[in-house]
Structure formats: C-alpha cells, structure tokens
Structure 1
C-alpha cells in the first residue's frame, strides 16, 4: 500500500510556470493501518540513498523518522525531494547515469533540510500523478518512480490539419545528435530517437582506428564537445572525435590500441552506445532506459580503544577487525586506519626521555579514517607492523645498534565463512610489493548491476590484500588508500621509486548491463614480459573461489607495460555480470578474493 502524490492543476502551472506538486506522504506501519507523520522530523543524518534499477525505486533511509516533501520542476524535468530535519554532514554528492535519468544529486539545501534531486535527460519527463511514496518504516522510504516518457515535439503545418492529432517526426527526418560523453565502458551518444540498424556502418581502415559513419544524421547547433577521451581499465586513453560531414552524415572516429578487438554500436531508446566487442558474443538487444543506483556497503566502524608504547613496540588495538596501511609522511611514519574512529576516552601514550619515539600524533582524517604519525627518536628506526590478532597489532622499533630481530612465526589470519589456510609467509623485510587499486575519485571505473562502482570494490579488496601481505612480512606500498584521483603515470612512478619486487593492479571488468551472462576472472601481463606473477595470482584465485576462468592473457595496459618489475593486472570479475556482481556485494567474498590474491603474490615471491 502506498499513497499517491497529489498533483496541481492549471492554476498551479500558471503560478509556477511549471507543474510543481507537494507530497502528501504516509508511513505504512502494518498491513491494515497507515499513519501520517504529523510532527516535525528530528532526523540527524541521511544514512542511505540508492536507486534500484530492477524496481525503478529510490530508497531513502534516515537515522530518525522523517516526512519527505516533493515537487516536480520542468526544463529540465527534476523530481525534488526535501527531507526536513536531516543534516547531511558532507559536501554535495552526485551520481551520473546513462538513459532517461541523467543525474541524482544530494546536498544540504538549508541548515535543517537535505535535498535529493533526480534530474531527467533532455526530452524525458514523468507523470507526477504516478509518483508514489511508501513508508516501510518511519525512517525508511521507497519512492516509486513512473516510467520516463519522451516528450513529443509538435511540427508546424502550412495548412489546417484535417485531424486533431499532432504530427510526429518521421524517420525521413535526420537523426538529431544532441550530446555525447564517455563512461567507464564506452561512449554514450544521445539523440532524439533510437539509431536504426541500417543507418550506420563501421569500418577499421587501420589497426589503431575505428570509423563509424552515420547516414541521415546531423549534430545540433553548438554541439559540444567535439572530442572526448576515455580512460578504460588502466589502458592508454582512447580518443574519440565526432564531426558532421556533407549530405547529412556524421562520422565518429576512435583512436584505439592496435591490439584491441573491434567495437560495436548498440542502439538505445535515447540514441546509442559504442562499446568494445567481445569474441564470440552477439550484440545484445537494445536496452530500455534504465537507471543505475549509487549504493555503497555500510562497513562497521572500528573504534580504536588502546594505543600503548611499551619498550620498543607500539600497541594498537580496536574493538573489531583493524584494517591498516603504513607509509612515510616526511620524516614521520604514518599508520592509516581505515573504517576507524578514535575512542573518546583514548589517551595518547607519554613520550619520555629514552623513548624510541620522540612524538606520537593522532589525526582523525574524516569520519572513518584515522592516522597515527610516529616520529622516531635519534638512533632509532621503525621496522613496521606485526599482527597480534585481527583486532590488534604492534609497530616494531629498533635501535640502530641493535642486532636484527629474528623472523617471527607466521600468525594465522582469522578464517572467513569459507575456511581457507592463511597465506604462506615470507621472511620479513625481504620483499616490497606495490598494490594498485584502479581508478578513484571522479573516475569511478565501471558501474555495474546494483550500482556497484569499480573504484569502491577494488579499493576494499586492495586494502585487504595489503593487510594480509603485511601480516606475512611483506612491505606493501599502495598507490592509493582512499578515494583519490590518481593518473596512470604516478602509479608507475610509485612502483619505480620503491624499487618494488612486484606490482599488482586490481580492477573489476565490465561489458554491458545488457550482458549479465558474461562473468569470470581475467589476469594480464605485459606483452613480451614474464607471465609468472599473473599465473601465480590467477591459479591461487581459481583454487580458492568459485569463479569462471577466462584465462591469463597479455595486454598493453599502461601500468604493467611501463613498470620495470614483475607486474600483473587482475580483473576480479565483471560488475555487469549477474554472478560476479552478487559476489562483489558480499564482504566475505571480497575478503576471500583479497586473501587469494595475497597468496598468489606470496607464491610468486617464494618461487612457486
């Protein structure tokens, strides 16, 4: 049961110059009773928002009860939902989509109101009378969005029409190309109608170029931009250009890697998409306009309860599993704790004369990241972390005149839901491995089923790979430990400066949301280089997880082609695949994947 959004009439349309409406919302408490929230909401923050492409629903979850208000605004069409009493507590968030919904934005409208705006692409609108709000609970709402409708365009006539119907644009009119953009998979081209199969041709005049010729087509006036660049899965950028030719023809040119497969054109209701072809696959049917949600798993926060300096070890302990990475920040040793916060009663250890550390600093980087900065005293050096359990570890410190510490006995890693042996250890300090989570920040990588984003998945897996390797005595350097934008060349530079023994770039694959049947693991090495690292990782994953095997291959990915050490790039599955996407959304499966990658790296380092 859900209540209808009440719509305005012509008077409202004249008043606002667009059809706006206010929501009359109720909450469903039981199958036979509905309550209207009459009191002002007291919600503190927005806990979750996401679009479900399967049900075309927007889900909103707040900390406390809230009564949403909504209105519809045109030019462009926007569904505006206000959450009174909700404090967002962060800058504006936005997520771009392909299809009828162009973007969803979430921002603080005023000090006590969070606003969610669902903006539709040019030429699309919705019927406000069909928007439904349903309260699952007082702080969990489902907004049912109606199917988007393409706005009709009335054409002028020279003489009075004998029929009252509005003339329609016929296929003899040129296809109007309105805009285009690059996403994590290919190029999206938006037009006033679907591209017909007989109206384009594709040719490959040379190995590094694709040309798509569109007949009976034209670019709208002031079309921009004419050139785009696509950074896809760590490869060299693909450059694309679109230009109008004579006789109502438009040509799209792609400059690609000579070793790439062919590309294909897939018609859509709002134009078409240009994506790489896959051997043995037939083009999928034209998809309906769809939306992709921006959901992110809610990972529990670890509270850091204890930081103690005893002798030449610094103990760090949390109330649950501690995820950490280490590095240097100037002359200070930085321990970064992910998904963590400092206990309000935590006291900083005292640094006295004779201590191996001259200073200890705590820093809460954001609401889920803690940094502990250690400055070694003169004649002391920091060796690195040693785990005690999943919830605690120590940082070892050594005097410059001390004898080297003995190699510690490997410590078992707590098993996941599927029992696996811990990664086999290597002697501490012998090896340096650079772990590279692909994409980041404004580059989300591929976006797949359920709105999962490649950059989030691979960062979580990579951080756990780093943790497992460090627990077994390997020095790990990560190219990024947070959601930052990092180009390809700096990733290579980090590995070269570290003189790493191995470089592993972690990604998630994609093809098309219309091909959920494509799933599996792919691992790559650079042409003409050793495949031993890639093979070791690939075999370890296949022996640990139930995932389809798509093989070990060579490819000209920038990061593995330009690093001088043994390198591999792991495509951990397809975010667009039904099997793999479900696995990616399972935290235990991501941990298994991380453990398997770590074991493969250790096998390589041990010469196996």
Structure 2
C-alpha cells in the first residue's frame, strides 16, 4: 500500500510549484502515518504475546503423578475396574483444569506404561525412583499423586488426602484439597486430611507432595461413579480448586512477611 502511494505521488505532475510542494508534504505525511500505524500494530501484537507468555511462566509448574501403570494395575475393584486407568484419566482432567488457570501442568505418567525399564529386575522400585527423580529435577511448585483406595468392608467410601507427617506445607495443601473434595463430591461422611510416614513418594520426594485417593474402588457406588467422565472431571476440578486455594494462601503469607 505504501509503495503504491509513493509511486502515485512521484508520477503526479503539476505545473504549479506551490501546489506540488503542498501535495508532496501531504503525501509524505500520509505515508508516515501509515508507517507509524503499522509499527504500533506490530509492537502491540508482539507485546501481547510476550505478556501472555510471562503470565504462564510466572504462575509456575505443577507435577501430576498417576499412580501405578504398566504391569502394576494398582487396585482392581468391583467390575474389574483398574486403579491405574482411573488415576490417569483424572490426572489428565486435572492437567487441563490447571492449564486453564495459567499453570504449566506436567504428567509424570502420560500413558498406560510404568516408569521402568523392560529388563529391570525390580520394576516397582525403579518406577518409584524415577518418579522421585523427575520431581527433584523439575522442582515444581507442588506435586499431587492421584490414587484410588480399597478396603475389605465394601461400605467404606469417600476421598482421602495424605501428606508427609513433618511437612507443614504438605498438611496445608492436603487440608485445602480434602475440603474441596468433600464439598464438590458431596461426601456424606467427610474425612479429614491424614499424616503419613510410610508411603514411598511422601518419604522420598522433595518439595510439597500430596497423595490424593479420590475414592474406594471396593465400594460399588463409588467404583461406578469413578468410571464416568463426569465424576472424573468433578474430582479433578475439586483437586484443582484445592491447589489454587493453597497457592493463594502461600502468596498471602509471603506478602504479609514482606
């Protein structure tokens, strides 16, 4: 467009010198205005892209672990439902929910496979070691490990969140997630978050980590619910809300200290 304007100007011949000078100034002013508008547009566009990127990076990384996988199915519940499958589906829903809020969510296990080598003599140990190694390497804001529960009494049901007994931040995160699960899933007999000192991930992982058991696969009603996409999404949304609540309290505490 600019090229056409300038070409039109120089091709134009006017015997009146004053008019030529006037038209020259007019066309040059118009050309400069167009150039400035183009520059403003490009800078605004680039600025918006950079701003969007910085917001995502500023909010940080959250790791999501799907318990079990591969040769390890976890709990095999009523109707043959496998814990590893439910864990992964909820983890993917949670990742999507967190990304909508501007966080970078990374799945430790992205598919049905476990985190072990085929030739490993102790696949379970290697699997757990690799999960801990990834947490150490990534240094996330926090990690949640999705699991399902079981009990010999089929009547037992409801979500349960575990944290390492000596972790104050872990306890605070667990409280936030537990409350959201109880409310969102309309639990008849709400549980409270529970300290633990024996689970491998809780003992060996760096940073803040919770193990979130979203239900009992040995309870018929809960097992049926956990197989549905709608309920999996509810669980993920509750966990997401708990995480956001926890991170908000962390930010408030930092502000108060400053």
Query: Fold-level match, TM-score > 0.5?
Result: yes
State yes or no: 1:603 paired with 2:222.
Answer: no
| Matches of 1:602 and 1:505, distance apart in 2 | 16
| Matches of 2:248 and 2:52, distance apart in 1 | 15
| Matches of 1:497 and 1:528, distance apart in 2 | 22
Which residue of 553, 562, 575 corresponds with 2:194? Answer: 553
Taking a change above 3 Å as real, the CA distance of residues 497 and 545 of structure 1, as seen in their structure-2 partners, is same
Residue in 2 aligned with 1:516?
154
| Matches of 1:516 and 1:587, distance apart in 2 | 23
Structure with the bigger percentage of strand: 1
Instruction: Give the RMSD, CA atoms, in angstroms.
Output: 1.9
| Matches of 1:405 and 1:602, distance apart in 2 | 24
The Cα shift of 1:503 comes to: 0.8
Residue in 2 aligned with 1:542?
182
- Note the alpha carbon deviations across 1:186-230, whole angstroms, 9 max, x for none: xxxxxxxxxxxxxxxxxxxxxxxxxxxxxxxxxxxxxxxxxxxxx
- Please say if residues 506 and 569 of structure 1, whose CA atoms lie closer than 8 Å, have aligned partners that are also in contact: yes
State yes or no: 1:428 paired with 2:66.
Answer: no
State yes or no: 1:441 paired with 2:70.
Answer: yes
- Please say if residues 185 and 235 of structure 2, whose CA atoms lie closer than 8 Å, have aligned partners that are also in contact: yes
| Matches of 2:134 and 2:241, distance apart in 1 | 23
Which residue of 406, 418, 424 corresponds with 2:51? Answer: 406
Residue in 2 aligned with 1:495?
135
Stretches of structure 1 lacking an aligned partner (at least 5 in a row): 1-400, 409-426
Stretches of structure 2 lacking an aligned partner (at least 5 in a row): 1-45, 116-126, 251-258
| Matches of 2:215 and 2:107, distance apart in 1 | 21
- Please say if residues 521 and 551 of structure 1, whose CA atoms lie closer than 8 Å, have aligned partners that are also in contact: no
The Cα shift of 1:435 comes to: 0.3
State yes or no: 1:586 paired with 2:211.
Answer: no
| Matches of 2:97 and 2:75, distance apart in 1 | 26
State yes or no: 1:529 paired with 2:172.
Answer: no
Higher relative contact order (CA 8 A, sep 6+): 2
The Cα shift of 1:441 comes to: 1.1
The Cα shift of 1:432 comes to: 1.0
| Matches of 1:589 and 1:404, distance apart in 2 | 35
Which residue of 93, 103, 119 corresponds with 1:464? Answer: 93
Matches within 5 A, 1:191-230: none
Structure with the bigger percentage of helix: 2
- Please say if residues 132 and 206 of structure 2, whose CA atoms lie closer than 8 Å, have aligned partners that are also in contact: no
| Matches of 2:145 and 2:102, distance apart in 1 | 20
Residue in 2 aligned with 1:506?
146
| Aligned residue-pair number | 188
The Cα shift of 1:564 comes to: 2.0
Matches within 5 A, 1:96-135: none
- Note the alpha carbon deviations across 1:333-367, whole angstroms, 9 max, x for none: xxxxxxxxxxxxxxxxxxxxxxxxxxxxxxxxxxx
The Cα shift of 1:404 comes to: 6.8
Residue in 2 aligned with 1:421?
none
Compute the TM-score of the two structures, normalised by the length of structure 1. 0.30
| Matches of 1:593 and 1:403, distance apart in 2 | 34
- Note the alpha carbon deviations across 1:288-321, whole angstroms, 9 max, x for none: xxxxxxxxxxxxxxxxxxxxxxxxxxxxxxxxxx
| Matches of 2:56 and 2:208, distance apart in 1 | 20
Compute the TM-score of the two structures, normalised by the length of structure 2. 0.68
Matches within 5 A, 1:129-148: none
- Note the alpha carbon deviations across 1:518-577, whole angstroms, 9 max, x for none: 111110000111201111111111121123423211112111222221111011110001
The Cα shift of 1:403 comes to: 8.1
| Matches of 2:146 and 2:217, distance apart in 1 | 13
Partner secondary structure for residue 485 of structure 1: coil
Partner secondary structure for residue 433 of structure 1: strand
